[in-house]
Amino acid sequence: MLDQNLKNQLAQYFDLLKTEVTIGLSAHNDENSKKVKEFVEEVVGLSDKISLIEKDLPLTPSFEIKGSFDHGRIIFAGLPLGHEFASFALAMLQAGGIEPKIDDTDKKRIESLGQADFETIVSLSCHNCPDVVQALNIMAILNPSINHTMIEGGMFQDLAESRDVLAVPAIFKDGEFFEGGKQSLSSLLDKLGTKIDKGEFDNKELFDTLIIGGGPAAATAAIYAARKGIKTGLVASEFGGQVNETLSIENIPGFKYTEGPNFMAQMKEQVSSLGVDLMTGVLADGIKTLDDKVELSLDNGAKLFAKTAIIATGARWRLIGIPGETEFRNKGVAYCTHCDGPLFKGKNVAVIGGGNSGIESAIDLAGIVKHVTVLEFLPELKADEILQKKLKSLSNVTVITNAQTTGLYGEGRVERLEYTDRLSGEEHKLDIAGCFIQVGLIPSTEWLEGSGIEKNKMGEIITTKDGSTNVERIYAAGDATDTKFNQIVIAAGTGATAALGAYNYLMVNE
Ligand SMILES: Cc1cc2nc3c(=O)[nH]c(=O)nc-3n(C[C@H](O)[C@H](O)[C@H](O)COP(=O)(O)OP(=O)(O)OC[C@H]3O[C@@H](n4cnc5c(N)ncnc54)[C@H](O)[C@@H]3O)c2cc1C
């Protein structure tokens, strides 16, 4: 089951266990049970600190991880391999007495939660699923009233289908659908209604520079500012930005290959190690300048003050504004091909958008699903020639240009897409089980309304050579600004520029 390499890795992790861990196995005689049993027995054989007992759990095959302290139930139903292997290893370590690495504020928010039973349906190829599994397991570790079961959708296909799961991760709370798609610990805590108390921000001193955002632009600005020795704070709804959604990155100089979440985890560590006051789990909802400082207001009612501010709130997926788009989210409307593609195996899907991301998605999907229809609004695809060439070589893809998608319809889930041929005006219907929307991104800058900060017609903040905006003391960087290209190194570069710009301002004026 586990190759020697994985066994060695796990054995090294298990050396770190501080206290005993018991695995309670629920298995029968079927093939899947045999696989889970084999996995668990191999794991138990790797450390004297791990013991195995039989257990009757609600789902079979599954196993429970239990530490020697009072914590919530952590169950893995199915095999935690693929992307979930790390979730399993972390749960073992945390049950074995290794404290989860999370902010104190998140810890307090978890401790304040009431009783809840969570289940997360995952696929092992989904790179957004481990964040959710790990976040809910951490909640169970820190709060005995929280229980969490990871359910591997491949092994529990009937259960996934009976719950109409068409996108993973699909999170259920007390048996009801709770949330789907990419989530972080902070966003889950927000959705559970545990806002960071305003009081947590009461005693913050005046910052020299306050950075708003948690992607590569904000992180790099924080590194540059902190290394200049100025008092630096960073406010972000969550740390990682779009990079967290990127499975493989191959264009960062010095890294032949890296994965988004790992890369941003390293950035976070670097930012924290430089003494930056990292405040996650809150949204900035307004900014203005007072006589000699900037005032930033947060969605929990708190206010922060700084001599200078750097806005790096990036961009997010654009909605196309058609009926069904939001109603069917996670019920056939999807954004992440790697995560949700396997759920449409053998079915017909559509991809809206003929740019690079749309065509990349169509190529990925063609290898999994029965048929892909790409709908492009313009007369021709906008994707790079090399991608178009690859697309044309695939026999199960149809491209329709000049197609204006008008709506997504179905009974409880997407069953049909309707579009109008923009040349003839004819209306058409496509029977589909899923629709991947890939029509680009919009800058997250609406919250600046009324601030006086100048934006272009796309909503991007207009900056000058040193990253300054038209409002004194306020700088900006990354995808939220009018940079011509949106890439990680460019976001990082503009973050550095804005931090140096803000630092120069302080040197000259303060
Ligand atoms: C699927 C995908 C794949 C990509 N692949 C690559 C690649 O391979 N190579 C490459 O170079 N680039 C790639 N990019 C582009 C790259 O990720 C972006 O250009 C880069 O992340 C922009 O960084 P940023 O810091 O400006 O903003 P973002 O990464 O968008 O981060 C913005 C941050 O601000 C936070 N935020 C937003 N609003 C608020 C608010 N009001 N208050 C507080 N916080 C807020 C968000 O939570 C987020 O943390 C990819 C993008 C996507 C979507």
Quick one: pLDDT at residue 261?
85
Q: Pick from 276, 274, 277, 248: which is nearest to 263 by CA?
A: 248
Quick one: pLDDT at residue 234?
98
Quick one: pLDDT at residue 193?
84
CA–CA gap between residue 53 and residue 65 (Å, rounded)? 11
Quick one: pLDDT at residue 105?
80
CA of 298, closest atom in ligand 1: 42
Would the CB of 317 count as within 6 Å of ligand 1?
Answer: no
pLDDT at 18 over 80: yes
Average pLDDT over residues 285-312: 96
Mutate to test the pocket of ligand 1, among 246, 357, 453, 494 (most ligand atoms within 8 A of CB): 246
CA of 460 from ligand 1 middle (Å) equals 14
pLDDT at 195 over 80: no
CA of 99 from ligand 1 middle (Å) equals 29
Mutate to test the pocket of ligand 1, among 313, 340, 453 (most ligand atoms within 8 A of CB): 313
Can you say whether the dihedral through the CA atoms of 429, 430, 434, 435 is positive or negative? negative
CA–CA gap between residue 264 and residue 52 (Å, rounded)? 36
Q: Which residues contact 143 (CB under 8 A, 6 or more apart)?
A: 71, 72, 110, 111, 113
196 or 415, higher pLDDT: 415
pLDDT at 357 over 90: no
Quick one: pLDDT at residue 388?
96
Would the CB of 216 count as within 6 Å of ligand 1?
Answer: yes
Percent of the chain residues past pLDDT 70, beyond the cut:
100
Quick one: pLDDT at residue 7?
93
Quick one: pLDDT at residue 238?
86
Average pLDDT over residues 228-240: 95
Name the pLDDT band for 184 (thresholds 50, 70, 90).
confident
Percent of the chain residues past pLDDT 90, beyond the cut:
80
Would the CB of 281 count as within 6 Å of ligand 1?
Answer: no
Q: Which residues contact 401 (CB under 8 A, 6 or more apart)?
A: 354, 376, 378, 379, 380, 381
pLDDT at 330 over 80: no
DSSP structural state of residue 444: S
Average pLDDT over residues 325-340: 83
pLDDT at 145 over 90: yes
CA of 368 from ligand 1 middle (Å) equals 28
Tokens of 10: 């796990």
Q: Which residues contact 371 (CB under 8 A, 6 or more apart)?
A: 348, 349, 396, 397, 398
Residue located nearest, by CA, to atom 53 of ligand 1: 242
Residue located nearest, by CA, to atom 7 of ligand 1: 249
CA of 160 from ligand 1 middle (Å) equals 31
CA of 204 from ligand 1 middle (Å) equals 27
pLDDT at 245 over 80: no
CA of 235, closest atom in ligand 1: 43
Average pLDDT over residues 163-190: 90
Would the CB of 479 count as within 6 Å of ligand 1?
Answer: yes
Would the CB of 236 count as within 6 Å of ligand 1?
Answer: yes
CA of 488, closest atom in ligand 1: 11
Name the pLDDT band for 186 (thresholds 50, 70, 90).
confident
Quick one: pLDDT at residue 164?
85
CA of 315, closest atom in ligand 1: 30
CA of 438 from ligand 1 middle (Å) equals 16
Name the pLDDT band for 187 (thresholds 50, 70, 90).
confident
Quick one: pLDDT at residue 335?
82
pLDDT at 236 over 90: yes
Would the CB of 209 count as within 6 Å of ligand 1?
Answer: no
Would the CB of 259 count as within 6 Å of ligand 1?
Answer: no
* Torsion, Cα of 241, 242, 245, 246 (10° steps): -120
CA of 265 from ligand 1 middle (Å) equals 14
CA of 444, closest atom in ligand 1: 38
Would the CB of 478 count as within 6 Å of ligand 1?
Answer: yes
Mutate to test the pocket of ligand 1, among 439, 453, 488, 497 (most ligand atoms within 8 A of CB): 488
Would the CB of 287 count as within 6 Å of ligand 1?
Answer: no
pLDDT at 217 over 90: yes
Quick one: pLDDT at residue 221?
98
pLDDT at 248 over 80: no
Among 89-93, 298-302, 328-332, 479-483, the minimum mean pLDDT is found in 328-332
Quick one: pLDDT at residue 341?
84
Average pLDDT of the chain? 94
Average pLDDT over residues 197-205: 89
Name the pLDDT band for 509 (thresholds 50, 70, 90).
very high
Residue identified by tokens 């709060």 is 143
Would the CB of 312 count as within 6 Å of ligand 1?
Answer: yes
Average pLDDT over residues 420-432: 97
441 or 213, higher pLDDT: 213
CA of 199 from ligand 1 middle (Å) equals 29
Q: What is the CA radius of gyration of the chain?
A: 24
460 or 180, higher pLDDT: 460
CA–CA gap between residue 8 and residue 248 (Å, rounded)? 25
| CA within 13 Å, CB half, 387 | 15
CA of 487 from ligand 1 middle (Å) equals 9
Cα(first)–Cα(last) distance of the chain, in Å?
Answer: 64
CA of 298 from ligand 1 middle (Å) equals 20
Would the CB of 214 count as within 6 Å of ligand 1?
Answer: yes
Average pLDDT over residues 73-91: 96
Would the CB of 299 count as within 6 Å of ligand 1?
Answer: no
pLDDT at 470 over 80: yes
CA of 454 from ligand 1 middle (Å) equals 21
Average pLDDT over residues 329-338: 82
